[in-house]
Amino acid sequence: MCSNYTKNPTKLLSKSSRLNLKFKENSPIVQTIARLIAMEKIPEEEEHKAKYLQPQEVKTCLILRLLPSQYLRCKQVLLDTWYEKGPFKKRDAQRLCRIDVNKTARLYDWFQNLGWFSQVEDDKLIDEEIKLGVDISATA
């Protein structure tokens, strides 16, 4: 059964796609899991989805042996859930992403180290201020 996430990668990252998630020059790369040999390259049938990823994300997929569709789905689910429901524990992330719990834990930690979860919270606050009609420029 093919989910909506894998059928059309352009619809991925709905709320989180508005975020300007960036990698700093010395961004941490997710560490390998013991005894897990990284993939050499993205499988051909997934290459068209890899074009939606930054080089660091492709490297993460190779290290964690995740297909780009799996990574994009986890990224969307984690960032959208953080946006909608606020902070959650790593255990909750492991339930949300239907991949190996160790891989989900690595992604969760990596997103936190990159500061993506805090960017999601900042974006949510801005959205709430806009809804309330608060002049953001006056507070800066």
- Asked whether residue 92 is domain-assigned, the answer is yes
* Beta carbons within 8 Å of 118's beta carbon, 6+ residues apart: none
Mean pLDDT of the 70-91 span: 93
**Cα distances (angstroms) measured from residue 75 to each of 2, 84, 139:** 18, 14, 31
Q: Which residues span the domain enclosing 68?
A: 36-139
Mean pLDDT of the 59-88 span: 92
Q: Write the CATH number for 58.
A: 1.10.10.10
- Asked whether residue 84 is domain-assigned, the answer is yes
- Asked whether residue 11 is domain-assigned, the answer is no
In this prediction, residue 91 has a pLDDT band, given cuts at 50, 70 and 90, of very high
Tens digit of each residue's pLDDT (9 = 90 or more) over 46-56: 889 999 899 99
* Beta carbons within 8 Å of 71's beta carbon, 6+ residues apart: 53, 57, 60, 61, 64, 107
- Asked whether residue 26 is domain-assigned, the answer is no
Tens digit of each residue's pLDDT (9 = 90 or more) over 19-53: 556 666 656 566 555 556 677 888 888 889 999 89
- Asked whether residue 14 is domain-assigned, the answer is no
SS (H, E, C) 33-95: CCCCCCCCCCCHHHHHHHCCCCHHHHHHHHHHCCCHHHHHHHHHHHHHHHHHHCCCCHHHHHH
- Asked whether residue 135 is domain-assigned, the answer is yes
* Beta carbons within 8 Å of 90's beta carbon, 6+ residues apart: 104, 105, 108, 109
- Asked whether residue 56 is domain-assigned, the answer is yes
For a pLDDT cut of 70, what percent of the chain falls above it? 68
The total number of structural domains that make up the chain: 1
**DSSP 8-state secondary structure symbol assigned to residue 97:** S
User: Is this structure's pTM higher than 0.85?
Assistant: no
Residue 106 has a pLDDT of 92
- Asked whether residue 2 is domain-assigned, the answer is no
Residue 104 pLDDT > 90: yes
